[in-house]
Structure 1
Amino acid sequence: MNALVYAGPGTTSESVKHCLESLRLHLSPHYAVVTISEAALLKEPWMWKTSLLVLPGGADLPFCKSLNGEGTHKISQFVKKGGKFIGFCAGAYFSSSRVEFEVGNLEMEVSGPRELKFYPGTAKGCAFKGFVYDSHEGALASKLVVNSKILPNSPLEVLNYYNGGCVFYGASQYNDVEVLARYADRTDVADDEDRAAVIYRKVGKGAVLLAGSHPEYSPSLMMHNSNDKKHSQIASALIDGDYGRKLFLKECLIKLGLRVNDDVNFSIPKISPVFLSSYLKPSLAVQLVFNLKHNLELINNNILEDNTDTFCFHDETENNDYFTENNSSFQDPNAVVKHFKVFASENLPDPKETPYFNMRQYFQHLNTLRTKEKTNNEFGSIIGYSEVVSSTNTMLDSNPSFLSQLPNGFVLTATTQIAGRGRGGNVWVNPKGVMASSILFKIPTSSRVAKSLVTVQYLCSLALIESILGYGSIETGMGGGYEDMPVRIKWPNDLFILKPEYLNSFEDHQISDTVDGTDEKFTKISGALVNSQYLNGNYYLVWGVGVNVSNSAPTTSLNNVLAKLNVLREQKGLHPLPPYQHELLLAKILHNLDRFYEVFVSSGLEPFLPLYYKRWLHSSQKVEVQGDTARPSKTCIIKGITPDYGLLIADDINSGETLYLQPDGNSFDIFKGLVYRK
């Protein structure tokens, strides 16, 4: 599920950044903490896959202009039906029944009713005078006194950032409003005895948290981003008490009913070096280094400043001292230099340097598969591995100079991504146990594939699911027991798996019903996206895929479901199947891509459609294709996909009309039987 941070008109980039940083700290990996734009909030059905919506600090009036009417209606319905909502500072003003800001100040006064009415009273401000728009001039480190009866595990007093926020005037007179924290100092709001700074309220089936101050502001991030002396002084004042602030925010999130990390000192890991090798064919790494040095303008013959990232390339004989360059508590994942240690011989990194990925095992698995079944041996022959990256996709797709020098089949894989990318621009932190990889397809314009690039994603999803189901055998079409794993394709290229509690027999891997009453029987196990660009006469397609191999958060993993399958096997007197491992699964995916792509280049998607239909969830599925103001919704039956452009074919039950739906312009909610435009 998503935790959405609004990033539309009215928000400041600083407030959005602090929301993302703090919420990812507390909520990852249980939720994908991502931003949502004004257009997406107003037009897309985000409510179905969202647990939390956050309105950050900024300015209240632009919120009104953008969200009044349709936006506030959707937000209100989301909360009433069980969603969680947080409003920080301007978001808290906007979410109250009435705003009274600097009343009597002709230059700054903002007053009037508001539509959400999550707080039934008036949000009055400034709680402390001195606020200046687009400035930290009136900001301060504000002490809060916490209501220990409601939040017994929080410190009694908390320091947090304050800049122009409100008090929730008369909060104690409302029986359904709980004051979680009060300003310790007397405010500048007349007749304000409550000094309510942070409140909680149940709204319908959902819940709301509103804060006049900024408990989400991280002093570490403040110090990193500020050249403002006043701002730095406030950050310094906050830093010693930051543990208490984190505890308080954690308890507030628990109060909302969200699942949080136990350790508030959990920190997003630092970027680590990439180890690059073509062990089975060392000449590939040698050629790559040659191309980088001779085709690009490198600084000092080893530094490349590309569009998004700066890369520094090192010989395998160099020590690793240069990898330690930034010990600050905050690290911008895109700004930090990405170091590549290139092994251009038959040597490999010491396993101690790559404790979560054994490169020797990976190449051994790949070689075994290739020896059994001859292929073109392009995919996976040269690979880069890092324990922690920003995003495997960003490092390739967003750096065209670097990308242009990479060979077809190049792979970048990682144990942890701290800025992973998904469809629609979603960004999240993925933990250990998720196999994150990006694989390059370099396609000449003269190739047949160039005419139907969009269908490559279908080939990739097949290579992935066949690798999962065939994990236990090197024989094509054999699974060694893993063929009973209940994994299915959701159009166009996500993989879903039957939850362990619904796996009760070997035949259950054939189930395609996605719901049991109101319960969702399947959960997402893998997400993927394909980005493309045209460079130097070739199309460069980067397939980014994440597979939850062994981490049970936020839902389940391959190995969790495999454990349930092993219970069934034990009941039948069968031996247990070994767990999935990153090295072998990746080798199988790349070997299958080699096999499939060779056929795909000459024959297109057509030969693969029967297998795709066997693996997907949608054969003859009845769905509603969502309309808009110009076109009504239609009830349709799914018939298949077109082999040329990968369009979803759906026949209208009533009119007989055939609809052709693009994979990149539509999304499929398998639990509601709904296809909707993104």
Structure 2
Amino acid sequence: MNILVYSGDGTSRTSLIHTVNSLRSLVGQHYDVMKIDAQGLLTEPWEESTSLLVMPGGRDLPYTRDLNGPANDKIRKYVHSGGKFFGICAGAYFGSDRISFQPGTPLEVLGQRELKFFQGECRGTVYPGFEYESEGGARAVRIQFNRDIFAQDRLGFDVATVYFNGGGYFVNAEQVPGTEILAWYENESGQIDAHVTGAKAAMIACQVGQGLAVLTGAHPEYDATHLDPGNPEYGPQPNVVTRLLEKESERRIWLRSVLIKMGLKVSQLESAIGRSSSTIIPPGAIQGVPTISPLYLASIEPSLTTELTRTLSGLTNDEGQIQEQNDTFQLVSSPQHPIPIHTPTTIETEGGDEEEKVTKNIVICPTAPPPSTLTPEFNMSVFFQHLQLVRQRIDHPFNNNFNFGNSLMYGHVVTSTQTMLDRNFELCQQLPDGFVCNATIQVSGRGRGRNSWISPPGCLQFSMVLRHPVRTTHASAVFVQYLVALAAVESVCSLPGYEDLPLRLKWPNDIYAEAPLEHPSQTQAAMTKDCQQYVPRMVKIGGVLVNSNFSGSEFLLVIGCGVNATNPNPTTSINHLIRYHNKVTGKNLAVFSQETLLANILVKFEELHKLFLGGNGRGFAQMEDMYYKRWLHSDAIVTLTTMVPHKRVRIKGVTLDYGLLRTVAVDDQGRDIVGEEYRLQPDGNSFDMLKGLISLKA
């Protein structure tokens, strides 16, 4: 699921960076935190895959200009249907019924707003001195929590100090139906509306249909460790930043509690309760994001490791480092040698985010895979043993020529297996065909379009180097993504006893499963209103990404795959499906480990790829029946939105030349229109490709 942060015109760049970084640090192991602009909110089907929509600080007027009308209609419907909205400062003004900002001054903004999540007025600024594009009006303000709401969290404190710059308060919030006050500004001299008795509401939660909108005038997302206390606009010492740093731990814990109240799953956070109030978290420290770990390199035979080590050594400088386009790697000659500690550096990306870079250690294991004490979450010896065992079961002339997975590089915590291979082209060119990089945790995994693959515990994630010949007219490289997804499903469902597991393929590159119905009430809820026929709920459990480059007479492909494999409930994973299948059938099918599933997938994919390239030039035609048996789309009707008027078409299959979606037009009764056929391609959509959004091939 995604968390979307609005990044359109009017958004404060600083607020956007703090919002994205704080969310990624607290919930990034469970959600994909992505930016989205006005066009994306209006045109993309983001609603069903989004757990939270965030409107950060900035300017309210550009928000109204770009989102009023159809985009706001989508936002309202999303929240009414059970979605969550988080409006911060300008986002809180925007989410209220009406706004009163700096009346009687040159900055005055008054008027009604469309979303109306808070059925009242947001009035500001609470403190004087606000200036656009300046820290001159910034303050460190004390926020008093609602003890009744946060009592269960046992925070150990009921006041936090947070950044403030131009925010409002929610007038008479205690009298507005459906509104709970989560926190108040502590009463101080100099606040707006001094005649108002009692504390002013700083953060509220509004029940909106089945959904929830949390609005805040202050900025709980601002991380003081990323602010510059030397900026003179913050005032003389002790200034705004130094006061925020004194209470930074409490701010983090409170924001975490707010996200929990919104129904989000959060990362484990080391408790700061009981620490000295003067504790300052070092700049750049992000709680909840694990530290990058060493990469261990081993092979199924020591001779392959020796050869690969020789190749990698040829790429190093005098310090034994491989300095590549995206990453720097330090070679460590064996697990017995000390592993260097490298100082991370922070760079700013093109999108305005801050990204931490650190040299990655590659520990060579020359004679045998590392002991399991060094890689407790993935036993490389067990993987190689199972790889050999599965290969021996293949009844085919080329079963002695299998290479995929012969060399493996594993890290417990990595940035992204895909990025380390795809964005370091010189290194990738030197790696052997079928080289695999896998990890237990990815902190910045990459997916199709703008998506990232988020790695919850138990997700099998790997990337592989594949050399695919260019001059194979019967075997277009576009089919590789289909073969990998098919291999992931067939590596399980082709095993005796596992044939009925409900794993499915979604074109072009996703893996789905029928979600188990754990309770009888779920069965009733899954019935259609008209005919009370059971309709299975399909959930995504995996995906495939293929990046390609030319290298001589071949494509140098980097294949990325992530599959929910051993995840515990409530996540739907392959092992979850197996346990549920055993429960309802009385069988005792064995579950998979990360090692056994990876080996199964690699062998099945290599088998399919060899057939694809050979097979007397028949290409994907050899796998058609197998593919259609597993996919979701037979005879499904979708809407072709790139035609005016829109055209409804029925999916018939994929073309055997370039893997396009083959469809035929249907009339108002859903009957095929003979002769009116269309070939379709993905539109690059980042959310749900087949939700009425496919493109006619130009």
Q: State the TM-score, normalizing by the size of structure 1.
A: 0.86
- Alignment-derived partner of residue 248 in structure 1: 254
The 3 A distance-change label for structure 1 pair 443 and 235 is farther
1:625-644 to structure 2, matched below 5 A, reads 625-627=639-641, 630-644=643-657
Q: 1:324 to 1:166 in 2, by over 3 A?
A: same
Alpha-carbon contact 1:393-1:544 (below 8 Å) kept? yes
| Residues 334, 459 of structure 1: alpha-carbon distance in 2 compared, 3 angstrom cutoff | farther
User: Structure 1 residues 313-322 or 410-419, which shifts more?
Assistant: 313-322
What is the aligned partner in structure 1 of residue 40 from structure 2? 40
Aligned to 1:350: 371
Alignment of structure 1 residues 414-563 onto 2, 5 Å: 414-427=439-452, 429-448=454-473, 452-470=476-494, 479-501=495-517, 521-535=537-551, 538-552=554-568, 555-563=571-579
Residue in structure 2 matching 1:649, options 656, 662, 665: 662
Matched, 1:359 2:380: yes
Secondary structure in structure 1 of the residue aligned to 2:378: coil
Paired amino acid for 2:594: H
Are 1:188 and 2:191 an aligned pair? yes
SS of 2:658's partner is coil
Counterparts of 1:299 and 1:166, CA distance in 2: 56
Secondary structure of 2:148's aligned partner:
coil
Give the equivalent residue in structure 2 for 1:675.
692
Q: String of CA shifts for 1:110-156, please: whole Å, max 9, x gaps.
A: 44433322233333322222334334343222111112233333542
Is the CA contact 1:503–1:564 (under 8 Å) kept in the aligned structure 2? no
Q: Hey, what's the Cα distance between the residues in 1 that align with 2:168 and 2:208?
A: 21
In structure 2, the CA distance between the partners of 1:210 and 1:668, relative to structure 1 (3 Å rule), is: closer
- Counterpart pick for 1:304 among 322, 345, 349: 322
Structure 1 residue 189: Cα displacement: 1.7
**Cα RMSD after superposing both structures:** 3.2
Q: How does 1:243-392 map to 2 (within 5 A)?
A: 243-260=249-266, 265=271, 267-280=288-301, 282-283=303-304, 285-294=305-314, 296=315, 298-316=316-334, 319-323=337-341, 325=343, 334-343=356-365, 345-373=366-394, 374-392=399-417
| Partner amino acid, structure 1, of 2:665 | D
TM-score, normalised relative to structure 2: 0.84
Amino acid at match of 2:87: G
Q: Match for residue 592 of structure 1?
A: 604
Q: Structure 2 counterpart of 1:676, which letter?
A: L
Tell me, in whole angstroms, the C-alpha distance in 2 between the residues paired with 1:485 and 1:227: 60
Q: Distance in 2 between matches of 1:29 and 1:553?
A: 16
* 2:143 counterpart of 1:144: yes
Q: Deviations over 1:624-664 (max 9, x none)?
A: 22425x52333332211111111111222224422222145
Distance in 2 (alpha carbons) for counterparts of 1:562 and 1:130 = 61
Aligned-residue offset at 1:268: 1.6
Are residues 1:216 and 2:228 paired? Answer: no
Distance 1:353 1:259, change over 3 A: closer
Indicate the residue corresponding to 2:631 in structure 1.
Answer: 616
Q: Which blocks of at least 5 consecutive residues in structure 2 are unaligned?
A: 272-286, 347-352, 521-530, 668-672
- Where 1:45 maps in the other structure, the secondary structure is coil
Query: Residue by residue, what CA displacement relative to the aligned partner does 1:150-200 show, whole Å, maximum 9, x if unpaired?
Result: 333354212222222222234344233322111114353234545221112
Give, in whole Å, the separation in 2 of the partners of 1:429 and 1:556. Answer: 14
CA gap 1:260/1:554 in 2 versus in 1, 3 angstroms: farther
Deviation at 1:327, TM superposition (A): 12
Q: Which residue is equivalent to 2:524? A: none
CA contact (8 A) 1:431 1:551 kept: yes
SS of the residue 2:409 aligns to: strand
Cα deviation, residue 235, structure 1: 4.7
Is the contact made by 1:303 and 1:310 (CA closer than 8 Å) also made in structure 2?
Answer: yes
The amino acid across from 2:337 in the alignment is N
User: 1:123 maps to which residue?
Assistant: 122
Give 5+ residue unaligned stretches, structure 1: 471-478, 505-514
> What's 2:681 paired with?
662
**Structure 2 counterpart of 1:165, from 164, 167, 173:** 167
Quote the offset at 1:336 in angstroms.
1.7
**What is the aligned length?**
642
User: Does the alignment pair 1:237 with 2:249?
Assistant: no
Deviations 1:382-405 (A, max 9, x none): 111000011111212222232232
Query: SS of the residue aligned with 2:85?
Result: strand
Whether contact under 8 Å (2:449, 2:686) holds in the other structure is no
Partner SS for 2:604: helix
Distance 1:59 1:668 in 2: 27
1:326-350, CA deviations, whole angstroms, 9 ceiling, x for partnerless residues?
A: 699xx9765122221123x323222
Deviation digits for residues 203-226 of structure 1 (CA, Å, limit 9, x no counterpart): 233221111111122334x25x88
Give matches, 1:6-25, under 5 Å. 6-25=6-25
1:54 aligns with: 54
Report the Cα distance in structure 2 between the residues aligned to 1:307 and 1:105, rounded to whole angstroms.
Answer: 51
The amino acid across from 1:391 in the alignment is S
Equivalents in 2 of 1:317, 1:415: separation in Å?
19
**Contact persistence 1:485–1:565 (CA under 8 A):** yes
Secondary structure at 1:585's aligned position in 2? helix
Q: Which amino acid aligns with 1:660?
A: R
* Letter matched to residue 563 of structure 2: V
- Percent identity reads 38
8 Å Cα contact 1:246-1:264 kept in structure 2: no
SS of alignment partner, residue 120 of structure 2: strand
Match of 1:511 in 2: none
How many Å separate the matches in 2 of 1:80 and 1:500? Answer: 27
**SS of 2:499 mapped into structure 1:** helix
Moved more, 81-90 or 400-409: 400-409
Separation of aligned partners in 1, 2:345 and 2:658: 48
Q: Say which SS state the counterpart of residue 388 (structure 1) adopts.
A: strand
Alignment partner, residue 82 of structure 1: 82
Change (3 A) 1:541 1:323: same
